[in-house]
């Protein structure tokens, strides 16, 4: 099956800093989504982004499907951004395959 | 409803017992997914329902696991003869077509 690799696995930031999270995948995809799992376990959908660039407030994402990677940018990080960020892809079977996540801790 | 609803939020059971986990998807969503997440791990796909099509059961770890979706809405995941390795958070998600997945809060299953 498809391999989804996320980097870095862990990240510690000071409040106000910017960061870039990366997702590499091993095969062509027709669906890519980014999720944030907060410290209480709730998964929130951030972006549906099979290709191109999207922005939502301090967050933006870019997927370069031809090169099989996606990037999630977090600007001016806040403590509420802490948690685990997951990238998930679909190769056509319709069920998303999740990466192992990037654990982000934003310190005040 | 406004979001994906799962019940119970917590379930403690004894090894060998059967359990049923329930998921109410967002109204109108045609696709429904079950995943599970072990402590500190990523999400493992279990089963996927899309409309009236046959479900994709390829992620079910053993024949002790089964799921159904009645009337294209509510889904029940059943685990028979539970084992300690079944302990995890079971997450349900729904979507409209191939677009964004929306997750419920999950059911924390503990098998003693």
pLDDT tens for A40-91 read 999 999 999 999 999 999 999 999 999 999 999 999 999 999 999 999 998 7
Candidates A22, A41, A43, A45; CA nearest to A102 is A22
Q: Which of A42, A45, A99 sits opposite B101 (nearest CB)?
A: A45
Is B22 strand, coil or helix?
strand
B34 touching chain A per CB within 8 A: no
Question: Do B19 and B109 contact (CB within 8 A), yes or no?
Answer: yes
Pick A94 or B66 by higher pLDDT.
B66
If contacts are CB pairs under 8 Å, which of residues 81-100 in chain B contact chain A? Answer: 89, 91, 93, 98-100
Alpha carbons A33 and A61: distance in angstroms, whole number: 10
pLDDT tens sequence across A12-35: 999 999 999 999 999 998 899 999
Contacting residues for B62 by C-beta, under 8 A, at least 6 apart: none
Q: How far is B101 from chain A (nearest CA, A)?
A: 7
A93 touching chain B per CB within 8 A: yes
Alpha carbons B40 and A104: distance in angstroms, whole number: 13
Share of chain A above pLDDT 90, in %: 88
A100 touching chain B per CB within 8 A: yes
Alpha carbons A2 and A24: distance in angstroms, whole number: 10
Q: Which of B91, B98, B100 sits opposite A94 (nearest CB)?
A: B98
- The answer, yes or no, to whether residue A93 has pLDDT greater than 70, is no
Strands B107-111 and B10-13: parallel
If contacts are CB pairs under 8 Å, which of residues 14-73 in chain A contact chain B? Answer: 30-31, 33, 35, 41-45, 48
pLDDT at res. A45: 95
Report the DSSP beta bridge partners of residue B20.
B78
State how far the alpha carbon of B22 is from the alpha carbons of A63, B4, B35, B62, in Å: 35, 11, 13, 19
Confidence of residue A2 (pLDDT cuts 50, 70, 90): confident
Structure tokens at A40: 């209480």
State how far the alpha carbon of A56 is from the alpha carbons of A4, A46, A62, A69, in Å: 24, 8, 12, 19
**Contact across the interface for A94 and B48, Cβ inside 8 Å:** yes
pLDDT at res. B22: 97
For A33, which residue in chain B has the nearest alpha carbon? B100
pLDDT in tens, chain B (112 residues): 589 999 999 999 999 999 999 999 999 999 999 999 998 888 999 999 988 888 999 999 999 999 999 887 999 999 999 999 999 999 999 998 778 999 999 999 999 9
pLDDT at res. B1: 53
């Amino acid at each position: 099956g498809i391999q989804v690799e996320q980097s870095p696995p862990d990240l510690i930031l000071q409040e106000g800093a910017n960061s870039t999270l990366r997702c590499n995948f091993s095969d062509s995809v027709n669906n890519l989504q980014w999720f944030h799992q907060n410290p209480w376990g709730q998964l929130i959908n951030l972006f549906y982004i099979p290709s191109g660039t999207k922005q939502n407030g301090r967050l933006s994402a870019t997927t370069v499907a031809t090169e099989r990677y996606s990037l999630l940018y977090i600007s001016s990080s806040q403590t509420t951004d802490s948690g685990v960020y997951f990238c998930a892809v679909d190769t056509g079977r319709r069920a998303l395959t999740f990466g192992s996540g990037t654990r982000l801790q934003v310190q005040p | 409803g406004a979001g994906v609803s799962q019940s119970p939020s917590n379930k403690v059971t004894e090894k060998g017992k059967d359990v049923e986990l329930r998921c109410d998807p967002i109204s109108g969503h045609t696709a429904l997914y079950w995943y599970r997440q072990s402590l500190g791990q990523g999400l493992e796909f279990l089963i996927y329902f899309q409309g009236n099509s046959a479900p994709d059961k390829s992620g079910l770890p053993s024949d002790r696991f089964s799921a159904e979706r009645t009337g294209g809405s509510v889904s029940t995941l059943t685990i028979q003869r539970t084992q300690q390795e079944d302990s995890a958070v079971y997450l349900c998600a729904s979507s409209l077509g191939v677009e964004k997945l929306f997750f419920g809060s999950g059911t924390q299953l503990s098998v003693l």
